[in-house]
Chains A and B, each alone.
Chain A
Amino acid sequence: MSPDPRPDPLEGTSAEPGVAKADPILTVSDVRRSFGGITAVDVDHLEIPRGLITGLIGPNGAGKTTLFNLLTGFDTPDKGTWTFAGEDLAGVPAHLVARKGMVRTFQLTKALARMTVMENMQLAAVGQTGERLLPALLPSLWRPQEDALTERADELLVRFKLDHMRDQFAGTLSGGQKKLLEMARALMVEPSMVMLDEPMAGVNPALTQSLLGHVKGLRDNEGRTVVFVEHDMDVVFDISDWVVCLAQGAVIAEGRPSEIGSNPAVIDAYLGSSHSEAPVQRRKRHERRAS
């Protein structure tokens, strides 16, 4: 499925939990987080390959969102370290994580409702002079920068087919449009890695294909790394280069999409959980926040 003409960067990577990758952008070691005695995340080792799409799957409550929160600085682990592009990110606050190039979206979209679509986009650009209190008072100091980033935002809005909503309040967008806006907005940060938390949840099926195309575009056209959480296995198998399965906070399986569906540990995790569907058959889209 991957149109990448280059040699497969995962060549020879064995399908086992915690396996080392040839060129990881993110390396997670020994990260643990518990809530009131229940272990939500307990990852011994995990590497995310650079420039590829990694799907993160697992039954409800497996700790996928919690892991996202920990890695992006929105939650603090009990212990553990992780490096992103060679930099130690443990203990780094969320806004600095984003500035270092690791940008996330949220399961429940966080479009800024009472701001226009364009304002949502403009906000996301980093290093704006006009965001400092005193320069903000002198438009001549930030106007050129503002014009440049508005132009960039306009291009992205065209690409994500949101240009006709440019000056509408983001709160008026449909669920799928909000997901698109969140993704486009994340790109304004110019991240090297995008972490998408259930990008297809609650999206009208007509928009799913276009969203999938955008996700693949991140990898193919811009060379960005993508990690995404998704429950729809068709989607996962369609666009992922690599799949990681979490259960009860731990990585229980890793592998290519073709291998993972038949992995006994994965089937067991799904069958053993309260949901009695095997992953391949699962179609249900979840809005519920995983703990």
Chain B
Amino acid sequence: MLVDILVDALRTSVGPTAAAYALLAIGLNMHFGFTGLLNFGQAGFMLVGAYGVAITVSTFGGPLFLGVIVGMLAAVVLALLLGVPTLRLRADYLAITTIAAAEILRLLFRSTAAEPVTGGVFGLRQFGGAFFALNPLPDDRAYLGPLAASAGRMWVMLVGWSVVLLMTLLVWALIRSPWGRVIRSIREDEDAARSLGKNVFAYKMQSLVLGGVIGAIGGALFALSLQTVQPDTFLPQVTFYAFAILILGGTASTFGPVIGAVIFWFILGMLLSGLRTFSDAGLLPEFFGAQAVGAVSLTFVGVLIMSLMIFRPQGILGDKKELQLDVS
């Protein structure tokens, strides 16, 4: 039984969802880790990425690649809309505005008025045909040994983790460039950056757009892997999962989000699978219903965020020395 739980957790931790969340966290790392921008609306960027694909293909019958581009462009527009009013204000205003904007989007997309385009509360489905048609893997066998991934799942994982790698490299290259130097100086002290002739607003905007687009790619991947989008997938807690991943892996560490995503989903997978197994085996108290499994896991995410932030803010791999420096 324990082996089953472990295999299940491992399967979750390398699955398409973990890859999609790694992308969300990479985007957040650009925002929060490197630039110091508090984006609490990453779920909104994910939503436009996912619906960009779904609406283009499912509602309008357009090609898949166009859908991905539409999703990314929508993320650019969203970042501009959010950034213009808030990037000149204190960091917490951006936090409030982004979480509000993500909720506005979700409510708009699930409304009856939007149903002809977005499918309302039911969302959209069956838009990934072209993506899976590209799958070169023979589908008469299972992959990854005990993890037994189907050819379709394997294909999503391959593409997903490749994109994760690509985005990690992109962020890595950018952060070690002079551009990244300006970005990090803004995180340290934006007035200092300004006094040295840097257009802080423009750089923050670039960071917001870039991280948002990476989040939107994560959304597109998420939608393709599930073959369905529903507005209520994009609740604010999605953003906070991504934050937990980011803090777990270590903010401002280039590979942190990837490692964080794998570990986070391993732990969460173990919790969910373990609780379900025990629940099915009747080993849990009666009041521990089906809903309780989710509730316990989410409570755990909260405890994880709190305790990491309090006791190990550098993440599990980070270097504490750097954090102890007096950041004025």
Main DSSP-derived SS at the B contact region: helix
In the complex, are the beta carbons of A94 and B327 less than 8 A apart? no
Give the interface residue-count category, chain A: 35 or more
> Nearest Cβ in chain A — how far from B7, in angstroms?
40
* Known A110-B328, A130-B177, A171-B326; contact A189-B188, beta-carbon cutoff 8 A: no
The one of B178, B187, B192 that contacts A110, using a Cβ cutoff of 8 Å: B192
**Does any Cβ of A come within 8 Å of B11's Cβ?**
no
Q: Please, which residues of chain B bring their CB within 8 A of the CB of A233?
A: none
The one of A74, A128, A136, A169 that contacts B191, using a Cβ cutoff of 8 Å: A74
In the complex, are the beta carbons of A94 and B195 less than 8 A apart? yes
> Nearest Cβ in chain B — how far from A10, in angstroms?
29
In the complex, are the beta carbons of B177 and A98 less than 8 A apart? no
**Does any Cβ of A come within 8 Å of B196's Cβ?**
yes
> Nearest Cβ in chain A — how far from B11, in angstroms?
35
In the complex, are the beta carbons of B177 and A142 less than 8 A apart? yes
In the complex, are the beta carbons of B196 and A123 less than 8 A apart? yes
In the complex, are the beta carbons of B206 and A133 less than 8 A apart? yes
- Per-position 1/0 for A169-203, Cβ under 8 A of B: 10110000000000001101100000000000000
In the complex, are the beta carbons of B198 and A112 less than 8 A apart? no
- Segment from A114-122, A257-265, A272-280, A281-289 that makes contact with B: A114-122
In the complex, are the beta carbons of A169 and B322 less than 8 A apart? yes
Q: Please, which residues of chain A bring their CB within 8 A of the CB of B191?
A: 74, 94, 106, 110
Complex Cα distance A146/B197, Å?
17
In the complex, are the beta carbons of A130 and B178 less than 8 A apart? yes
With a 10 A CB-CB cut-off, give which of B170, B194, B196, B322 has the most chain A CB atoms: B196
In the complex, are the beta carbons of A131 and B182 less than 8 A apart? yes
The one of A98, A113, A128, A129 that contacts B326, using a Cβ cutoff of 8 Å: A113
Q: Please, which residues of chain A bring their CB within 8 A of the CB of B179?
A: 130-133, 136
Q: Please, which residues of chain A bring their CB within 8 A of the CB of B327?
A: 113-114, 171
Give the interface residue-count category, chain B: 20 to 34
**Does any Cβ of B come within 8 Å of A152's Cβ?**
no
The one of B196, B322, B328 that contacts A189, using a Cβ cutoff of 8 Å: B196
In the complex, are the beta carbons of B199 and A122 less than 8 A apart? no
Complex Cα distance A209/B173, Å?
43
Complex Cα distance A130/B174, Å?
9
* Known A112-B185, A171-B326; contact A139-B177, beta-carbon cutoff 8 A: yes
In the complex, are the beta carbons of B195 and A128 less than 8 A apart? no
Complex Cα distance A204/B198, Å?
31
| Interface members, chain B 154-200 (any A CB < 8 Å) | 170, 173-174, 177-182, 184-185, 187-189, 191-200
The one of A94, A98, A109, A122 that contacts B178, using a Cβ cutoff of 8 Å: A122
Complex Cα distance A239/B163, Å?
60
**Does any Cβ of B come within 8 Å of A104's Cβ?**
yes
The one of A96, A108, A119, A188 that contacts B181, using a Cβ cutoff of 8 Å: A119
In the complex, are the beta carbons of B197 and A98 less than 8 A apart? yes
In the complex, are the beta carbons of B177 and A110 less than 8 A apart? no
Complex Cα distance A139/B200, Å?
22
**Does any Cβ of A come within 8 Å of B325's Cβ?**
yes
In the complex, are the beta carbons of B189 and A110 less than 8 A apart? yes
The one of B174, B188, B206 that contacts A114, using a Cβ cutoff of 8 Å: B188
In the complex, are the beta carbons of A123 and B328 less than 8 A apart? no
The one of A106, A126, A133, A142 that contacts B192, using a Cβ cutoff of 8 Å: A106
**Does any Cβ of B come within 8 Å of A99's Cβ?**
yes
The one of B178, B180, B181, B197 that contacts A95, using a Cβ cutoff of 8 Å: B197
The one of B181, B187, B200 that contacts A122, using a Cβ cutoff of 8 Å: B181
In the complex, are the beta carbons of A114 and B196 less than 8 A apart? no
* Known A126-B197, A133-B206, A189-B197; contact A112-B192, beta-carbon cutoff 8 A: yes
* Known A115-B185, A115-B188, A171-B327; contact A124-B178, beta-carbon cutoff 8 A: no
In the complex, are the beta carbons of A74 and B194 less than 8 A apart? yes
> Nearest Cβ in chain A — how far from B185, in angstroms?
5
Beta-carbon nearest neighbor of B207 in chain A = A133
In the complex, are the beta carbons of A124 and B196 less than 8 A apart? yes
Beta-carbon nearest neighbor of B321 in chain A = A169
Beta-carbon nearest neighbor of B177 in chain A = A136
Q: Please, which residues of chain B bring their CB within 8 A of the CB of A189?
A: 196-197
The one of A99, A103, A114, A142 that contacts B184, using a Cβ cutoff of 8 Å: A114
In the complex, are the beta carbons of B325 and A114 less than 8 A apart? yes
**Does any Cβ of B come within 8 Å of A72's Cβ?**
yes
The one of B173, B181, B322 that contacts A123, using a Cβ cutoff of 8 Å: B181
With a 10 A CB-CB cut-off, give which of A93, A103, A123 has the most chain B CB atoms: A123
With a 10 A CB-CB cut-off, give which of B178, B195, B325 has the most chain A CB atoms: B195
Complex Cα distance A227/B189, Å?
23
Q: Please, which residues of chain B bring their CB within 8 A of the CB of A146?
A: 178
**Does any Cβ of B come within 8 Å of A290's Cβ?**
no
In the complex, are the beta carbons of A169 and B182 less than 8 A apart? no
In the complex, are the beta carbons of A95 and B182 less than 8 A apart? no
Q: Please, which residues of chain B bring their CB within 8 A of the CB of A72?
A: 195
User: Can you list 22 A-B pairs with a CB-CB distance of less than 8 A?
Assistant: A72-B195, A95-B197, A95-B199, A98-B195, A106-B192, A110-B195, A112-B188, A113-B188, A113-B328, A114-B188, A123-B198, A126-B196, A128-B178, A131-B182, A131-B198, A133-B179, A136-B177, A137-B173, A171-B325, A172-B325, A188-B196, A189-B196
Q: Which residues of A contact B (CB under 8 A)?
A: 72, 74, 93-96, 98-99, 103-106, 108-115, 119, 122-124, 126, 128-133, 136-137, 139, 142, 146, 169, 171-172, 185-186, 188-189
List 4 A-B pairs, minimum CB-CB distance, nearest first: A171-B325, A130-B178, A136-B179, A136-B177
12 other A-B residue contacts (CB within 8 Å) besides A136-B178, A139-B177, A186-B196: A109-B328, A112-B192, A113-B328, A115-B181, A122-B178, A122-B181, A123-B196, A128-B178, A131-B181, A133-B210, A188-B196, A189-B196
